[in-house]
Amino acid sequence: MAPTPSTRIQSLKARSVFRTNRRRKFAVGAAMLSLLLIASSAAAEPFAITSGAFTFVFNSSSFVEVGGPQFLVTNGDTNPEEFGLPGLALEHANPFATTLPVSGRIQVNLSARLLLTGHPEPEFGSSVLFDLMFNGPAAVAHPTDAACEGCLVIAGTSPFRVTGVLTAQGFDDPPGIFRRDVAGSGTATVGFFREFGTDTLRPFANFEFAPTAPTPEPASLMLLAAGIVWVGRRRLRTID
């Protein structure tokens, strides 16, 4: 027996309701997923390095002071005393090449103090370790006419970006260890100077950080996610 027109209408209505409910669930689920992704992204945001510099010189320790909105590493001195540029491509570069590399990975072990925004200061003399990966286009080399000992002979500048991990000891929570991802950018100056007492050219690298564009705060990100949910529900009402 063929279905009556009334039966067919009821069937079409049921299918329409099913599709609408399925679209609604999909839209709400997608919005909630966006909310979770935004929240987790905000929680995992690395510390931004926006001031200070890392300076590395052949066969020499370096004073370090870098920081950002959430932290400051101060009174830092590289260990061991003869630190140099281990891990940077410049360490083995040709001083007479037309370009000089700014990239490389380097671990900077410091006797330093780590100050966290809104937290008590740690005990003086904390151990701070940066594990950093520098990346950027090669710098164009600019030779000079300097012939004196200790004078800058070749130099070039290039933008750089850095990512890595900051680890510090001397904290109570978690027990003795603080660990956080870091990131930053700025201008690298790399080159060679004439070593005292010889005609040998030795490398140096200076990575100076610059402020970055502000990152939306978690509260702003949550508000954005709520707006996504509202728009999705609004569109579903229009479809219905």
In a domain, 2, yes or no: no
pLDDT tens, residue by residue, 1-12: 555 555 555 555
Give the range with max mean pLDDT: 63-72, 121-130, 172-181, 223-232: 63-72
In a domain, 25, yes or no: no
The pLDDT mean for the chain works out to 76
User: From residue 175, how far is each of 5, 73, 171, 172 by CA, in Å?
Assistant: 74, 20, 6, 5
* Per-residue model confidence (pLDDT) at position 95: 92
How is residue 211 annotated by DSSP? -
User: From residue 93, how far is each of 90, 96, 186, 210, 234 by CA, in Å?
Assistant: 5, 9, 22, 26, 60
pLDDT tens, residue by residue, 51-84: 999 999 988 888 899 999 999 998 888 877 778 8
Structural contact between residues 206 and 187, judged by C-beta atoms closer than 8 angstroms: no
pLDDT tens, residue by residue, 87-108: 999 999 999 999 999 999 999 9
Q: How far is CA 186 from the centre of its chain?
A: 12
Listed in sequence order, the residues at least 6 apart from 21 whose beta carbon sits closer than 8 Å to its beta carbon are none
In a domain, 5, yes or no: no
Print the domain residue range for 116.
47-214
In a domain, 42, yes or no: no
In a domain, 240, yes or no: no
SS (H, E, C) 159-195: EEEEEEEEEEECCCCCCCEEEEEEEEEEEEEEEEEEC
In a domain, 85, yes or no: yes
* Per-residue model confidence (pLDDT) at position 118: 77
pLDDT tens, residue by residue, 188-226: 999 999 888 788 899 999 999 999 744 444 444 444 444
User: What's the domain count of the chain?
Assistant: 1
In a domain, 19, yes or no: no
In a domain, 204, yes or no: yes
> Token pair of 166, please?
């900051």
